[in-house]
């Protein structure tokens, strides 16, 4: 499996502008199937995370992107053709209501299909970009996906400062130095409740912030 | 590529010799010293020497490429330095556009002005125009929280990382009677300034006892300072043949470079201590970031430029 040439170019640019310093804490990159999940505050999040993976891992790793945002025009070309994004439906952008998407099973099904037996996913369980100050509560997708794929490895990651480089609502980036920290893989434990699991997953991301 | 000035070739051969000797010494120390507590310092020393090879090669290449090469190199270093600097600032969301201007409009413009030899505008673009522009743009953005702090830290970053550093390649626009306008003065500044840093480090490691400002920079000692400044000034005087200066003038100028370099190192350290970081970045192995390496240059370059311009440009 090889990656789109444009993906490599975009990844190199993202690394250049973000000067990202990557560290793996109690974990190391490998090609086994996993879901990489991280905090979300910038359009650069996915590209920087993806470009920080070793080449052979990159080729097997696809982002999960919101269908409502990424399924038209240039965005679609970029997401689907260049980065092979798995598009999933999320409920429309009013996050205040805290309601679950109408049919979460469709989204889970798309992710399950998208990763097949060997491929990994990059997922931002907050569901939308935040301000970068705090990590919002995680949506349930991660939990349902793990229920369907017992033993699935989940690799937490924390992206630092990318919200300063390209905050929500801006098109032009400003260079800041950024950091990306990967933590040890975790799995859904037998009998673990949905709120407990989602809180534990969120904590796994947050604790990487200052490492 | 034009024919190289023989004096440039001599100076570079000297650098090459110094690097070779340093690498040999580093290698011998690694083999000879087995004390476990010294290993971290020795590893860092050898990483530093390795990085010096790379930096010298890059700098040598840009000098061969002439003024355009120096402008591109220092322009990139300015951008990288500014990036390291703003990363430590408590910037707010509303600063985004101002910072975009700082990186992608003001910085390139400053270097273009040097390229077209427009001294009058080069000297005031940042102290006058950018100084007034930054608070105006921030006011338009509408966020008044910590307004003066945000405006002045951005102005300060522009002054140090862009304006002061750009004085180094600006040396190439000085027309000195009877002195070929090429990169020799720039090389001279870089040599004296960087050797002063290195020699202060070496003297400090060998003899350092009495700390100058322990809270600001725990590695700076009086022994390192005096030894480094004295030896770098001596070397600077001995290199008078590649400058328009007489030997005694070269000594005075070198002293000014080393003292300003020290001031730069100390000041930029104070910022690091305030922000609770050890280094500005990780770009240069063993040294830290660009700002950790160029802190002395930021302070020495403008003073050196103006000394030369005042006394030697007619």
Interface contact B87-A21, CB threshold 8 A: no
Instruction: Give the full edge-to-edge strand order of the sheet including A35-38.
Output: A21-24, A179-182, A154-160, A35-38, A120-123, A61-66, A86-88
> Where among B173, B195, B216 does a domain terminate?
B173
What's the rounded mean pLDDT across residues B184-211?
94
Residue B2 pLDDT more than 90?
no
Between helix B247-275 and helix B184-207 the angle, nearest 10°, is 60
pLDDT tens digit sequence for B262-308 = 999 999 999 999 999 999 998 898 899 999 999 999 999 999 999 99
Residue B249 pLDDT more than 70?
yes
Residues B55 and B204 both lie in one domain: yes
Position A102 scores a pLDDT of 54
Interface confidence (ipTM) of the complex: 0.87
Domain containing B150: what range? Answer: 68-173
- The whole-angstrom distance between A58's CA and the closest CA on chain B is 24
Assess A161–B contact: CB distance below 8 Å, yes or no. Answer: yes
Interface contact A172-B100, CB threshold 8 A: yes
Other CB atoms within 10 A of residue A206 CB: 14
Assess A177–B contact: CB distance below 8 Å, yes or no. Answer: yes
Residues B48 and B80 both lie in one domain: no
Of the listed ranges A88-102, B119-133, B174-188, the least confidently predicted one is: A88-102
Residues B223 and B258 both lie in one domain: yes
pLDDT tens digit sequence for B82-108 = 999 999 998 999 999 999 999 999 999
Please state the domain count of chain A: 1
pLDDT tens digit sequence for B205-218 = 999 899 999 999 98
Residue B1 pLDDT more than 50?
no
What's the rounded mean pLDDT across residues A176-198?
95
Domain containing A171: what range? Answer: 5-206
Partners of residue B83 in chain A, C-beta under 8 Å? 19, 175-177
Interface contact A175-B96, CB threshold 8 A: no
| B124 is a domain residue | yes
Residues B120 and B227 both lie in one domain: no
Residues B32 and B57 both lie in one domain: yes
Partners of residue A174 in chain B, C-beta under 8 Å? 86, 96, 99-100, 103
| A211 is a domain residue | no
Residues B76 and B33 both lie in one domain: no
- The rounded distance, in Å, linking the Cα atoms of A79 and B123 is 46
Assess B292–A contact: CB distance below 8 Å, yes or no. Answer: no
**Mutation target vs B (from A129, A174, A176, A179; most B CBs, 10 A cutoff):** A174
| A153 is a domain residue | yes
Position B172 scores a pLDDT of 92
| B16 is a domain residue | yes
pTM for this entry: 0.92
| B310 is a domain residue | yes
Residue B74 pLDDT more than 60?
yes
Position A93 scores a pLDDT of 46
| B178 is a domain residue | no
CATH of the domain at A172: 3.40.1130.10
Count how many Cα atoms sit within 13 Å of the Cα of residue A149 in the half-sphere of its side chain.
23
Partners of residue B93 in chain A, C-beta under 8 Å? 131, 167
Dihedral sign, Cα of residue B305, residue B110, residue B260, residue B23: negative
Residues B187 and B294 both lie in one domain: yes
Interface contact A170-B96, CB threshold 8 A: yes
Residue A176 pLDDT more than 90?
yes
Interface contact A19-B86, CB threshold 8 A: no
Residues B17 and B89 both lie in one domain: no
Residues B164 and B251 both lie in one domain: no
Residues B304 and B188 both lie in one domain: yes
Chain A residues 27-86 with a CB less than 8 Å from chain B:
none
> Where among B121, B145, B173 does a domain terminate?
B173
> Where among B117, B145, B173 does a domain terminate?
B173
Position A210 scores a pLDDT of 87
Assess A16–B contact: CB distance below 8 Å, yes or no. Answer: no
Burial class (CB in 10 A: 0-12, 13-18, 19+), A96: exposed
Q: Please tell me which residue of chain B has the smallest CA distance to A177.
A: B87
Q: Please tell me which residue of chain A has the smallest CA distance to B103.
A: A174
Say whether B221 sits in a helix, a strand or coil: strand
Residues B304 and B219 both lie in one domain: yes
Which of the four pLDDT bands, split at 50, 70 and 90, describes residue B181? low
| A63 is a domain residue | yes
Position B3 scores a pLDDT of 64
pLDDT tens digit sequence for B32-72 = 988 888 888 899 999 999 999 999 999 999 988 888 999 99
Distances in Å between the Cα of B114 and the Cα atoms of B110, B111, B132, B194, B235 are: 7, 5, 21, 23, 29
Residues B140 and B167 both lie in one domain: yes
| A108 is a domain residue | yes
Partners of residue A167 in chain B, C-beta under 8 Å? 93, 96
Please state the domain count of chain B: 2
Interface contact B282-A175, CB threshold 8 A: no
What's the rounded mean pLDDT across residues B154-158?
98
Assess B86–A contact: CB distance below 8 Å, yes or no. Answer: yes
Q: Please tell me which residue of chain B has the smallest CA distance to A174.
A: B100
């Amino acid at each position: 499996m090889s990656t789109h040439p444009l993906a490599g170019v975009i990844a190199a640019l993202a690394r250049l502008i973000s000067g990202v310093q990557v560290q793996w804490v109690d974990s190391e990159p490998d090609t086994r199937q996993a879901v990489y999940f991280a905090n979300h505050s910038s359009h650069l999040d996915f590209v920087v995370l993806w470009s920080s993976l070793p080449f052979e891992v990159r080729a097997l790793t696809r982002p999960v992107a919101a269908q409502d945002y990424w399924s038209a025009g240039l965005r679609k070309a970029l997401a689907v053709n260049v980065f092979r994004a798995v598009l999933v439906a999320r409920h429309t952008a009013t996050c205040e209501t805290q309601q679950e998407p109408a049919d979460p099973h469709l989204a889970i099904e798309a992710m399950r299909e998208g990763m097949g037996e060997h491929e990994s996913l990059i997922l931002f369980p907050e569901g939308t970009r935040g301000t970068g100050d705090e990590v919002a509560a995680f949506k349930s997708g991660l939990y349902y996906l793990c229920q369907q794929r017992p033993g699935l490895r989940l690799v937490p990651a924390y992206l630092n400062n990318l919200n300063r480089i390209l905050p929500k609502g801006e098109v032009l980036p400003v260079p800041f130095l950024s950091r990306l920290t990967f933590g040890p893989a975790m799995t859904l434990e037998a009998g673990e409740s949905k709120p407990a699991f989602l809180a534990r997953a969120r904590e796994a991301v947050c604790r990487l912030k200052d490492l | 590529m034009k024919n190289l000035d023989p004096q440039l070739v001599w100076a570079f051969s000297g650098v090459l010799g110094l690097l070779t000797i340093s690498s040999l010494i580093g290698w011998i120390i690694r083999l000879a010293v087995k004390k476990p507590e010294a290993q971290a310092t020795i590893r860092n020393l050898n990483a530093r020497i390795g990085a010096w090879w790379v930096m010298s090669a890059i700098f040598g290449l840009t000098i061969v490429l002439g003024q355009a090469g120096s402008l591109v190199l220092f322009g990139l270093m300015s951008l990288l330095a500014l990036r390291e600097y703003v990363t430590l600032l408590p910037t707010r969301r509303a600063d985004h556009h101002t910072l975009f201007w700082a990186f992608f409009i003001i910085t390139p413009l400053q270097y273009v002005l040097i390229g077209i030899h427009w001294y009058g505008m080069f000297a005031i673009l940042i102290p006058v125009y950018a100084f007034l522009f930054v608070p105006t743009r921030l006011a338009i953005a509408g966020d008044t929280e910590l307004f003066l702090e945000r405006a002045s830290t951005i102005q300060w970053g522009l002054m140090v990382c862009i304006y002061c550093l750009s004085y180094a390649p600006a040396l190439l626009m000085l027309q000195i009677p009877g002195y070929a306008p090429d990169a020799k003065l720039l090389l001279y500044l870089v040599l004296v300034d960087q050797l002063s840093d290195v020699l202060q480090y070496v003297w400090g490691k060998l003899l350092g006892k009495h700390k100058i400002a322990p809270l600001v920079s725990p590695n700076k000692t009086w022994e390192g300072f005096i030894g480094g400044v004295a030896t770098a000034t001596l070397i600077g005087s001995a290199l008078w043949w590649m400058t328009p200066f007489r030997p005694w003038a070269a000594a005075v100028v070198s002293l000014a470079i080393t003292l300003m370099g020290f001031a730069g190192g100390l000041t930029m350290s104070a910022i690091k201590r305030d922000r609770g970081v050890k280094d500005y970045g990780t770009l240069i192995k063993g040294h830290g970031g660009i700002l950790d390496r160029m802190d002395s240059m930021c302070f020495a370059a403008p003073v050196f430029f103006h000394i030369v311009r005042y006394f030697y440009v007619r």
